[in-house]
Each structure stands twice: as C-alpha cells, then as structure tokens.
Amino acid sequence: MAIWEKNKALQEILYAELPRLAREEGMEHEQVFACLDSGTMVLLGNPAHPKLQALLIGQPARIKVNANLGTSPLNNCPQTEMEKVAAALAAGTDTIMDLSTAGDLDAIRKQMLEHCPLPVGTVPIYAVGKILIDSERDIAEMKEDELFDEIDKQCRQGVDFITVHCGLSKRGAELALEEKRVLGIVSRGGSMLARWMVENNKENPLLSDFDRLLDIVKPYNVTLSLGDGLRPGAGADAGDAAQWEEVINLGQLAKYAHKRGVQCMIEGPGHMPLNLVQGQIEGIKRLTNHAPLYVLGPLVCDTTPGYDHISGAIGGAIAVSSGADFLCYLTPAEHLTLPDLEDVRAGVMASRVAAQAGEIALGRARALKKEAAMNRARKNLDWENMAKVAIDPELLQKRRQTHKNEEVCAMCGKFCSVKMLRDVKVKKK
Ligand code: SF4
C-alpha cells in the first residue's frame, strides 16, 4: 500500500496539487509518487493551514530554504515578527518556522499561519517550556500529556511540520553529558528533554510513546522533522558517539513512521569543520534511508559571529552537493540576537546562494540553465536579463543605480574587458 493510501490527508493534498508541484519541480508525476512512497521526499501540507501552497522537499526536487522567526523573552514584538514573515517571503524563502518563546504563542502562530501561504513549522516543546518557565516550574516537572496535547493543538491550528526530538534517548543524553563535550547539548528542545529524562530517570516520551505521536499528526498530514537534539554545537564536538546514536534512532523511527503513513524529514548538524561535512551528510543520509535531510548550516567555523550566514552557506553548499535537501538559514544575528528585517533577508539570500552552488555541483539542469542565462547576458552587457536571472534582482538594480545609463558597469568603465574584445576578429594569416 502506498504512503498516501495510508494517509488520507496526504492523499487529498497530493491529488489536488500534483500537477502544479510536478511542473514546478520539473518532475514526472510517476517520479513524484515513487519518491514519496520511498520516503526520500515529503509533501509538506496540512489541510487545516489556510490558503496553503503545498511543497515538495527531497532531491531531485529543488533544494528548499527555511527562515526561522519568532519572539524571544528579550525581544518580544509579534508585529515585527509578521514584518519578518513578509521579508522572508520577499527574499524567496520556501518555508518559515515559528520559534516564538514569548508572548501569546497561540495568537502569534495563528497570525503566522494566516500571513504565510508557504508551509509553517514549529517546535511544540517550546510552548510547553514557556508555560512551565512562566509558572516558575522546572522543565523536569513537565507532564507527558502536556507535550502531546500541545502537539495536537498545533496540528489542529494548521502547522505543516514540527520538530520533535524523538531520537534523543536517555542513553544518548547521558552519553553527551559524559563525553564532556566542549558545548554539551545546544539544541533548546534537546536540552529540555535531556533535563527531563535525567531528572526523572525516564525515557523520552516522544520515543517511548512514538505511536501516540503518529496517531496525533497523521490526520493532519503534519510531517515530522525528527530533530537532532544532540547535534554538535562546536566544531570540536562533531561526530561523537552521542550524535551518531541519535542519528541511528532517527533512521529507525523514520522507517517505522513511514510504514504507518507518516512522513518524516531528518534534521542534521550543526557545527562541524569543512572537512567533515561531506562524510557526515553521506553518513546521516545512509543511516536514515535517504529521508529528506534538513540541515542547520552546517556552520564550518565557530569564530564568525556577525558572519554566520556566510559560514553556514559554505557548509550548506557542500551539504547540498553531498545529499542534503533542505537548508535552514543562518543570519548575521546568529549567536547574538534576534534577526532584524535586513538579517532575515541576508540569511535567506545566503542559503539560496548555497542551494544554487550545491545544485550546480550536482549538475541539476535548472541551476545550470540559470548560470548559462546569466553568462549570456553578461557577454551581451544585457543588464535587463542579468537582473531577471540574478538571485537578488533588487540588489542588482540598486547597486547599478548611479550608472544605470552606462552600457558597462563602474567596476572597469572604459576598461571593460567584455567590450574591449567584442568587435575584434582574429585576422587569418
Ligand atoms: S566594466 Fe568590467 S565588471 Fe563591468 S561588465 Fe565590463 S568587464 Fe564586467
């Protein structure tokens, strides 16, 4: 039985959207069916999300980009976050995640779903953590029902994908703590669950009661983004036993969920040196049955605050060429503060650059076609067509504004090498 025959909500969206999706991705219908049924591609879309455009994630579909938004206790302005939704959409993001941890989280999520026609993701344990922290209770006091009830509520609201750290076992958490990592556990959700497990001496409820989670999300076709709670938070922590133990669990859980008709993506690292990116990505893909891999960065340097979008794009390009499918942006504000509007724009653009670079390396026709169009336009000093194919046409026009009536650009002016040789004909001897 195919996955959409086990999941009526998925079937509804797939049948309604397939012609558009296949056309946009340049794929045959049969190829989309085959990829979804093998679990190497997911179709994001909760029928409860108003005016949603469903989205395919998983190569050979186009590499997708996510923008993380949301309030924090030190920067809590829901109106600004809605402006950031608009900025992320204008910059060309494919999804957004609402990571809000301050204010009225239900209202913010509802507004984001209304403002964003693209898939919206969340990390439901943040909302549970906020309730506990606001009432001055310890995270270890969380009741298992509180977590599952929150997930259920968010599915009903229309969220399309959720990060759930189901692969983070008690053993994995203990390994990470015992291994004396430089930066321990840096995932917010991961650190909450690790504290809960160690303090209560109990297994992660998202792992021990995985079937309950599947029963909740399936009627809404909410895709599980199986979180990497033990991802390395420093280059020096990459590739330890705790990280791989979690990856192995994620692979097994994704396989089981798929059999039950629930779609899964795998979340990946994190911080790691450049020389480890390819091996890590290939290893994770292999251990998770080539499920769509959603990576945060990877950040290839730890010393780049203010420039982490660049550090992440370098890692992201190699990750894509090694098999990653979905890039979570990093902005210049990473590790420092909440991103502002310009940070959001810069972060989305950096990830889109990484996606294009990775797709060129993979020889994807859509990426090569764009490169060829840009080169043709450059050869002809055709600024209009350069703008059409540029990743950021607005920036191209802005930077050219002061000399827009010149045929050449201000970089070389009369020394323009394109023009210099344009009329030259080699004389035959
Ligand atoms: S002026 Fe220089 S940089 Fe500008 S188009 Fe000509 S060769 Fe290229």
Query: pLDDT by residue (tens digit) across 15-28?
Result: 999 999 999 999 99
Residue 345 Cα to ligand 1 midpoint, Å, equals 27
Dihedral-angle region of residue 56 (phi above 0 means left; psi in -120 to 50 means alpha; beta otherwise): beta
- Averaged pLDDT, 201-209: 97
DSSP at 428: P
Q: Which amino acid is at 211?
A: D
How confident is the model at residue 286, as a pLDDT? 97
Dihedral over Cα of 203, 209, 210, 213: its sign: negative
How confident is the model at residue 114, as a pLDDT? 96
- Averaged pLDDT, 232-261: 95
The C-alpha atoms of residue 129 and residue 350 are separated, in whole angstroms, by 31
How confident is the model at residue 155, as a pLDDT? 98
pLDDT at 45 over 90: yes
Tell me which of 418, 419, 421, 422 to substitute to probe ligand 1's pocket, judged by most ligand atoms within 8 Å of the beta carbon: 418
Residue 309 Cα to ligand 1 midpoint, Å, equals 28
**Beta strand spans in 142-284 (E):** 161-164, 223-226, 264-268
Q: State residue 164 phi and psi, 5-degree precision.
A: -135, 125
How confident is the model at residue 428, as a pLDDT? 82
Mention every residue, 6+ apart, whose C-beta is less than 8 A from residue 63: 320, 324, 325, 326, 327, 355, 358, 359
How confident is the model at residue 180, as a pLDDT? 82
How confident is the model at residue 18, as a pLDDT? 97
- Which neighbouring-strand residues pair with 122? 98, 162
Do you find a cis peptide bond into 172, omega within 30 degrees of 0?
Answer: no
3-state secondary structure 101-137: CCCCHHHHHHHHHHHCCCCEEECHHHHHHHHHHHCCC
Query: pLDDT by residue (tens digit) across 93-129?
Result: 999 999 999 999 999 999 999 999 999 999 999 999 9
pLDDT at 179 over 90: no
Q: Is 412 in the pocket of ligand 1 (CB under 6 A)?
A: yes
How confident is the model at residue 151, as a pLDDT? 98
Tell me which of 400, 408, 419 to substitute to probe ligand 1's pocket, judged by most ligand atoms within 8 Å of the beta carbon: 408
Tell me which of 378, 379, 404, 409 to substitute to probe ligand 1's pocket, judged by most ligand atoms within 8 Å of the beta carbon: 409
Q: Are 62 and 366 in contact (CB under 8 A)?
A: yes
- Which neighbouring-strand residues pair with 164? 226
DSSP at 427: P
The C-alpha atoms of residue 28 and residue 215 are separated, in whole angstroms, by 31
- Averaged pLDDT, 195-204: 95
To the nearest whole percent, how much of the chain has pLDDT over 70? 100
Residue 415 Cα to ligand 1 midpoint, Å, equals 8
Strand 264-268 relative to strand 161-164: parallel, antiparallel, unpaired? unpaired
pLDDT at 196 over 90: yes
pLDDT at 260 over 90: yes
For tokens 């653009």, what's the residue?
349
Quick one: how many helices (H) and strands (E) in the chain? 19, 10
pLDDT at 429 over 80: no
Give the residue whose CA is nearest to atom 3 of ligand 1. Answer: 411
* Atom nearest to 413 CA in ligand 1: 1
Q: Is 418 in the pocket of ligand 1 (CB under 6 A)?
A: yes
How confident is the model at residue 422, as a pLDDT? 84
Query: pLDDT by residue (tens digit) across 376-423?
Result: 999 999 999 999 999 999 999 999 999 999 999 989 999 999 989 888
Q: Which amino acid is at 362?
A: L
Q: Which amino acid is at 342?
A: E
Instruction: Give the chain's largest Cα–Cα span.
Output: 89
Residue 307 Cα to ligand 1 midpoint, Å, equals 28
For tokens 């020394």, what's the residue?
415
Domains annotated on the chain, with CATH: 3-362 (3.20.20.540), 366-420 (no CATH)
